[in-house]
Each structure stands twice: as C-alpha cells, then as structure tokens.
Structure 1
C-alpha cells in the first residue's frame, strides 16, 4: 500500500514538474466533496436534519445522559472515599451503563448525519461532475487534481468555489 502511495506521489511530482516546464499546461485543483457540502441544498438539508424532532430529541437525550454521567463522576469523586467496595462497584457499573447509552445516542446522531451526507452526495455528485466538466472545457484545462493532493494552488487555480456557484445556480 505504501509503495503505491509513494509511486503515486512520485508520479504526481513528475507531472507537476512536467507541467511547470511546459508553460502551455493548464492545471487546477478542486475539492468536489467540499463543493457539494457548501451548496445551498446541502446547508438546507443539514439544517432540516438538525431541526427535525427525531434529531433534536436524540441530541437532547445525549446531552442529558452526558450531564448525568458528569454528575455521577462528581458524586463519586466527592463521596467515593466513604463508599463501601460494593457501593463503588455499583456506582461504577451505573456510570458504565450511562456512558454506553451516551455512546449509542452519539452513534445514532452520527449515523443520521452520515446518511444525510450520503444522500446529498448521491444526488449532487453527478451534477458536480457535469459542472466540473463544463468548467474544464471553458478554461481549456489539461489537468485537474483533487485539492488535497496539491501542495499549493493559487486562488485562480482552485475551482471549488466556482463549482459551488454552478451547483447553486443549477438547482
């Protein structure tokens, strides 16, 4: 795996040096995922999720459980010295159950968020690719890299904002 990544990096550097040697090569970068998540549609979907009753109830439940665990921990720290070993074990078990409940609630929240992101990407990725192809043709670009692969890209070389504008305009 590391050999492939190393070979890919060497190839990328070679392409960049070859591009620098030839003034005719036009290179740009784009972060398609960031563009999708920056659209008005994505903001609306995420806001709708976070204001939904199911999400809000789950979030409130997680916060309440977190507060209970914190209160239990403070109580154990304050009064634990006077507790019997059985009481300490019982309180620890209760805290572990509450922590487990908290982790489950957080996992459910993250799953809901993940599903919303996945739905957005499924819906907008084809449109983003289409818009990106149009930008590539208009600018007559020779090479477009993922922004995370670039060490440096000037403002004019990053297509992400333009992609967001086109996706918002497409609706």
Structure 2
C-alpha cells in the first residue's frame, strides 16, 4: 500500500513540474557597454574627469598648506599658528564638501545616462526574452549563483548594438 501511494504521489509531482527558463542580466552594465552607451557616456566622463582634476588640485593645495604650516610651526606666534590651522581646517572641510558634491554629481550624471538608455535596453531585452522564451529574468546582482550559461548580459549588449 505504501508503494502505491508513493508511486501515485511521484506521478502527480512529475506531471506538475515544468521547466522554467531563467536568465540573469546586468542591465546597467549592458547599457554602459553597448555602443550607444559608450557614445552617450563620453560627455559625462569628460565632466567627471574635469571635476576630478579640480578636486586633485584642491587636495594638492591643501597638502601644500599643511606642509607649510608644519614647517613654520615653530617660527609662528601662537595666534598666527592658530589662525593658519583654522584656515587649514576650513580648507579641508571645503575640499571634503567638494568631493562629496562631485560624487553626487557623478552619480546623477550616471543615473541620467541610464535613464536615457533604458528604453533601447528594454526593447532589446524584450526581444531577447521572446526569442529565448524566458520565463524569468533576474538582475545579476540579486542572484546568489547563476551558471555562466544563464548570464545573458553579453548577448543583451550585442542585441542593443544590433538594434541601434
């Protein structure tokens, strides 16, 4: 009797199992690696490089001022040393704020870029889903493990390039 129940359960279970086609994709990377992404990223990359150059210049000036203060520490009056140390601290705060602001601006530029490229990427992804008859597509960063065959990021890049 136990064998009959097990056999019936097994047959029911086998009948209810369906193959599910699953893929993982790094959508952001696919957009940025595509030809249209590379072309669209030129101007934001240039802006970020300019911001980075300004930040490096400010950091070098800050380091130079700190070295000058350390060098002159023994020859300065206590009041003059205190003023210069306070000015150095203010300059340091300014540089830190500048760095944080530049990071926000760079992130905003990337978000704008991704937003502008998303419609082309979604269209390419939709055609890839239909062609491959995928039941589920996950963001690669959300998956704990995915077989290399399940990662279709490179194929999505090729599809975006082909479609645009």
TM over 0.5: yes
TM-score, structure 2 length as denominator? 0.74
Report what 1:62 is aligned to.
Answer: 55
Structure 1 residues 42, 83: closer, same or farther in 2, change over 3 A? farther
Structure 1 residues 151, 62: closer, same or farther in 2, change over 3 A? same
The CA RMSD measured in Å over matched residues stands at 2.6
Note if contact 1:45-1:116 (Cα within 8 Å) is conserved in structure 2: no
Q: How many residues get paired?
A: 149
Note if contact 2:41-2:113 (Cα within 8 Å) is conserved in structure 1: no
Report what 1:113 is aligned to.
Answer: 106
1:91 corresponds to which of 72, 84, 96: 84
CA offsets, 1:20-71, max 9 Å, x none?
xx5722211111112112222332333223435x962x44332221111111
Structure 1 residues 46, 112: closer, same or farther in 2, change over 3 A? farther
Question: How far is 1:78 from its partner?
Answer: 3.3
Unaligned runs of 5+ in 2: 1-16
Report what 1:26 is aligned to.
Answer: 21
Radius of gyration: which is bigger? 2
Matched, 1:40 2:35: yes
State the secondary structure of the residue aligned to 2:42: helix
Report what 1:136 is aligned to.
Answer: 129
Report what 1:8 is aligned to.
Answer: none
State the secondary structure of the residue aligned to 1:141: coil
Q: Partners in 2 of 1:88 and 1:77 — Cα distance?
A: 10
State the secondary structure of the residue aligned to 1:29: strand
Q: Partners in 1 of 2:162 and 2:78 — Cα distance?
A: 66
Matched, 1:160 2:153: yes
TM-score, structure 1 length as denominator? 0.72
Note if contact 2:37-2:117 (Cα within 8 Å) is conserved in structure 1: no
